[in-house]
Amino acid sequence: MTDEQKKRQSWKKGSDSSNHRRVRQENDSTQSGSTGRKGRAVRLMFVPIEKPPYYEEIEVEFEWVRGLPNLPNAQINARQLQQSAKAVLQQRFPGEEVDVFEVSRAQDLYLLDDRKDKNDIYKKLEQLSAYYLKVNIVENFQLRLEQVYQYSKCWGDPCECVDLLSLREGELKGVKGSRKAKREANLKSAERGQLQKFCLKIGDLQKEFPAVYGSNEKSRSAFYNWLYIVTIRQKDKQISEEIMRLCENKLIGFTDIFYKKESRIRRPVQQSDGESRGPSDRQKKQHEIIKIIRYNCQARALAQFVGISLYSPNNINLYFPSCRNLRELLEREKDPSRFPEDCFEKFLEQVYGSGGGQPPLPFEPS
């Protein structure tokens, strides 16, 4: 071993031991009640209600903890959000028994709670994250819900649909595949602007879905919510039953620590030939920052599912027919003798009501 290699090895050992000491110190400080930098943040809580659209959005302000490397910040902040949201519910509905559930990848935080174990419904809620939840496309072929949703977006007319059968799950495995699908959709959004519609294409079957219903802005989340609930109903009925048991004799709310209603992305800006091409000018005009309002949230979809199940149970099968896979659902809707009514259209009409024309808006569903 050369002198240079010995130096590198010595430095690496010292660095590793220093890192271990730092992590132990951070863990000790956390356990003793000390935290990193704190700020305030706002997230939404979704509560099932008895009137369409069967959920209510409530803003919750809570203490945001940051600056703790090597610690699960999302899980810590999900816990903060849950506690604050529960306090908001108790204040609004005094005397009622209330509870709040996080529906995201941060659900692992519940394993730290002594009153819950990893085999109960609290752990299962983690698997209801769109990054984990799998949609049956055809028999023996599944994709993550987030992937199906992102690849169903259409910006042009005619719609350039992605055939879901062309996507091999092995190449889009896990959270990385879901992130890849969302990243590609965001790039297309930055290039093409307003989302026009959604489209599910499975082999030779194709169906388009409107991105908004009339002038009802809440309907911009309708396709995502519908796809999410249809996917839940594909699964074992035990999951739906356990979700409904959460509501027995108590008022509940759902949160998603990763969901922010507003965000900003960089959109490329085309320059005309007459514009200056200097370095500083080009740096300023190549991109613009635009605000996007995001309507699609798994906590909202789950709250709507619970609301319809509790207060309009006769419509569950009408809006979200039970099916083994998406292709089967599209085939049923193609055959009026077997399925005379379009379930998504009924969902839009009865849950979101009628409205005026569709106005051009400077944002799109995420």
> Would the pLDDT of 19 be above 60?
no
Residue with tokens 């219903």: 213
More confident residue, 188 or 87: 87
Residue 138 domain-assigned?
A: yes
Residue 27 domain-assigned?
A: no
The pTM for the full model equals 0.78
Q: How confident is the model at residue 58 (pLDDT cuts 50, 70, 90)?
A: very high
Strand ranges of the sheet holding 153-154, from the earlier edge strand across to the other edge: 153-154, 197-202, 205-210
Q: In the chain, what percentage of residues exceed pLDDT 70? A: 65
> Would the pLDDT of 156 be above 80?
no
Mean pLDDT across the stretch 319-330?
Answer: 91
Task: Identify the pLDDT of residue 141.
Answer: 92
Residue 194 domain-assigned?
A: yes
Q: How confident is the model at residue 81 (pLDDT cuts 50, 70, 90)?
A: very high
> Would the pLDDT of 127 be above 60?
yes
Mean pLDDT across the stretch 238-257?
Answer: 87
Residue 320 domain-assigned?
A: yes
> Would the pLDDT of 36 be above 80?
no
Task: Identify the pLDDT of residue 11.
Answer: 43
Range of the domain at 255: 34-270+278-352
Residue 25 domain-assigned?
A: no
pLDDT tens digits for range 201-216: 999 999 999 999 888 8
pLDDT tens digits for range 168-208: 655 556 666 777 777 777 666 656 667 889 999 999 999 99
Contact 109, 75 (CB under 8 A): yes
Q: Amino acid identity, residue 101?
A: F
Task: Identify the pLDDT of residue 303.
Answer: 97
Task: Identify the pLDDT of residue 37.
Answer: 74
Residue 62 domain-assigned?
A: yes
Task: Identify the pLDDT of residue 349.
Answer: 93
Task: Identify the pLDDT of residue 238.
Answer: 77
Mean pLDDT across the stretch 53-58?
Answer: 96
Mean pLDDT across the stretch 44-61?
Answer: 96
Residue 8 domain-assigned?
A: no
Task: Identify the pLDDT of residue 23.
Answer: 35
Residue 126 domain-assigned?
A: yes
Contact 104, 77 (CB under 8 A): no
Question: What would the two tokens of residue 276 be?
Answer: 């200056």
> Would the pLDDT of 365 be above 50?
no
Task: Identify the pLDDT of residue 215.
Answer: 86
Task: Identify the pLDDT of residue 231.
Answer: 93
Highest mean pLDDT among 243-257, 277-291, 343-357: 243-257
Number of domains in the chain: 1
